[in-house]
Amino acid sequence: MNTRFLLATSLALCAAFASTRAESSPAPTTAKPVTDIRIVIKTTKGDIEGTLFASKVPMTAANFLNLAKQGFYDGIIFHRVIPNFMAQVGDPQTKQPGMEARWGTGGPGYRFADEIDPSLRHDKPGMFSMANAGPNTNGSQIFITHVPTPHLDGKHAVFGAVTKGQDVVDRVQKGDKIEKIEILDSTDALFAAQAKNIAEWNASLKK
């Protein structure tokens, strides 16, 4: 009789303990997948619509989008345009009077490593890619291609592509400006995944 009582008591205690653990344990969280993000670059020559490949090069996409959200590119000048090659933009010095001699040398105040996905190539017009001064010197400067430029593969990080407005890219001249950048999709999952990098960048960002 005592044996049956002890067994029943033990089973009841085990069940209660298991129930308490289940109630106190937090539910597992699943990070949302990072997906590609659509943007519109509004320029003095018209709109350039594009998709950033955040699912493949999340760090590079996050860098551009973080800067765009803070208005970094608003009013910035296309400082280097080579017909039948590319249009380059992203030097904040182009917004400062009297700095034309230094155009092309400025950045956000930090650099980050190359993030090159072999499946993303400079194989057609309208590829968004990072301008740099050598390996692992990416910042805020980008270029958009006019034509395929395969000699840049492996040297510059492709991170997006034009989906509409390639004619605008081709019409852009030195001195034209980005008026603003609109982000059409949520950046929440991307920014959550890149939170550490974004915090470091923002700490060094030249406003």
Place of tokens 């009841």: 12
SS3 140: coil
| Cα within 13 Å of Cα(33), Cβ side | 5
Q: Considering only CA atoms, which of 111, 122, 207 is closest in space to residue 158?
A: 122
Residues with catalytic function: 80, 85, 88, 132, 143, 152, 156
Helices (H) and strands (E) in the chain, counts: 5, 8
Residues pairing with 145 in the sheet: 86
Both structure tokens of 191: 């920014």
Q: Dihedrals φ, ψ of 113, to 5°? A: -70, 155
Q: Considering only CA atoms, which of 180, 72, 87 is closest in space to residue 128?
A: 87
DSSP secondary structure letters along 178-190: EEEEEE-S--HHH
Both structure tokens of 148: 């395929």
How far apart CA 107 and CA 70 sit, in angstroms, is 15
Residue 17 carries which side chain, given as an amino acid letter? F
